[in-house]
Amino acid sequence: MRYIGRKVLYFLATLWAVVTLNFLIPRLQPGDPAEIMVRRLAGKDAALDQAQVEAMRAMLGTPTDSLWAQYVTYLQELVQGNLGLSYTYYPFPVTQVIGQAFWWTVVLVTVVQVLSFVGGVVLGAYAAWRRNSRFDSVVTLGSTVLGTLQPFWIGLMLLYVFGYTLGWFPTSGGFSEATPGWNWAFIQEVVSHAFLPALALLIVMPIGWILGMRNTMIMNLGEDYIRLAKAKGLTDRDVALRYAARNALLPSVTGFALALGSVLGGAILVENVFDYPGLGRLMGEAVSQKDYPLLQALMLLSAVAVLVANLVADLLYGVLDPRARRAEG
C-alpha cells in the first residue's frame, strides 16, 4: 500500500512540474509575451486577425496581472478543462480540435506500442535462447542496422514505393470516401490508410525491446535457478518461457512509459509525412500556423500521456515484483 501511495504521490509531483513548465514556456521570453506574440503575428501579415488576438488573450490571461495571478488563473482554467481557443480553427476551443484528432493517434500509437513490445520481447527472448545462432545474428545485426534509420524517412520511402510507385496504399489522409462510423467500409479504409504510417514506426520501435530483452535474458540464463530447472528435467520450452523469459520481462515493464515517449515523437513526424489526421499532424500544423494555444495543449497532453503510462508501469511493476514493494515500501 505504501508503495502505491509513494508512486501516486510521485506521479502528482511530476504532473505539477509538467503543468508548471507548460505555464512557464510561453512566458520565458523577455517583455510582455502576449504583446510580443501579437506583434509578431501582426508583423507577418499587416492586417491583424482579431480572432488571433482573442485566442492569445485567452491563452495567456490578462498580461497586466502578476505572474502569480496568471498562474492561479491558468490552474483554474486547466482544472475546468479550458486550454484556450485555437486560432487556426477559431472560435473552436483547443480541446475540441484535439478531440477530433485524438482517437486517430491513440489507435495508431497503441497498435504500434503493443506490437513493438510483444514482437520485440519475443524476438529478443528467442535470440537470447538461441544465442549465437543464425537467427540471433540476423536479429542483432538487423536491429543495429535498422536502428540507424529515422522512422519518418522510412515513411517517406514506404510512401514512394508502396504509395506512389506501386499504388498499393493511399498516399495521404485517414480515410477517403466512407462515412465515419462503425461500418465495414470505413474500417477498411482506416486500416489501409494507417498501414504505412504504422509500418514506418514498427520497423524501428521494437529495436529497444529486442536488444534489452536479449541482454537481460542472456544474463538470467546464467543464473543458478535456470541450471536447477534444467537439472530437474524440465523441457527447454518450460525453462525458456516460464523461468528465464518471465523474469527477464520485468525490466521491460519499466521501459514501457519511456518507449511511449519515443513512439509519440516518431508519430509526430510520420503523421506529417502521411498527412494522417492525428495529433502529430495537428502539432505540425500548429507549428506552421503559430497556433500557440494548440501547441501548448498538445505538449501538455503528450507529457501527461507518458506520465500516466509511467504510473501504470510502476504500479504493474509493484504487482509483478514483490521485491520492489518491499524495498521501497
Note whether 323 binds another protein by CB under 8 A: no
**CB of 125 within 8 A of CB of 117?**
no
Distance CA 264, CA 261 (A): 5
Q: Which of 84, 307, 317, 318 binds another protein (CB under 8 A)?
A: 307
Using CB under 8 A as the binding rule, the residues of this chain from 168 to 227 that contact another protein are 171
Q: Which of 8, 13, 228, 316 binds another protein (CB under 8 A)?
A: 13
Stretch that binds another protein, among 51-59, 73-81, 85-93, 304-312 (CB under 8 A): 304-312
Q: Which of 94, 123, 273, 282 binds another protein (CB under 8 A)?
A: 273
Distance CA 50, CA 40 (A): 14
CB of 169 to another protein, least distance (A): 13
Distance CA 213, CA 80 (A): 42
Note whether 286 binds another protein by CB under 8 A: yes
Note whether 149 binds another protein by CB under 8 A: yes
- Cβ closest to another protein, residue 14 vs residue 178: 14
- Cβ closest to another protein, residue 235 vs residue 288: 288
Q: Which of 82, 261, 312, 320 binds another protein (CB under 8 A)?
A: 261
Q: Which of 57, 131, 230, 290 binds another protein (CB under 8 A)?
A: 290
Distance CA 2, CA 101 (A): 38
Note whether 313 binds another protein by CB under 8 A: no
Note whether 40 binds another protein by CB under 8 A: yes
Q: Which of 306, 314, 317, 318 binds another protein (CB under 8 A)?
A: 306
CB of 246 to another protein, least distance (A): 25
Note whether 164 binds another protein by CB under 8 A: yes
- Cβ closest to another protein, residue 91 vs residue 265: 265
Stretch that binds another protein, among 68-76, 236-244, 245-253, 254-262 (CB under 8 A): 254-262
Grid cell, residue 295, equals 501547441
Note whether 288 binds another protein by CB under 8 A: yes
Q: What is the chain's alpha carbon radius of gyration, rounded to the nearest angstrom?
A: 24
CB of 161 to another protein, least distance (A): 9
Grid cell, residue 49, equals 486577425
- Cβ closest to another protein, residue 18 vs residue 107: 18
| CA-CA-CA-CA torsion sign (285, 150, 303, 120) | positive
Note whether 137 binds another protein by CB under 8 A: no
Phi, psi dihedrals of residue 85, rounded to the nearest 5°: -105, 140
Interface residue list for another protein (CB under 8 A): 13-14, 17-18, 21, 25-26, 28-29, 40, 144-145, 147-150, 152-153, 156-157, 159-160, 163-164, 171, 257-258, 260-262, 264-266, 268-269, 272-273, 283-284, 286-288, 290, 292, 295-296, 298-299, 302-303, 306-307, 310
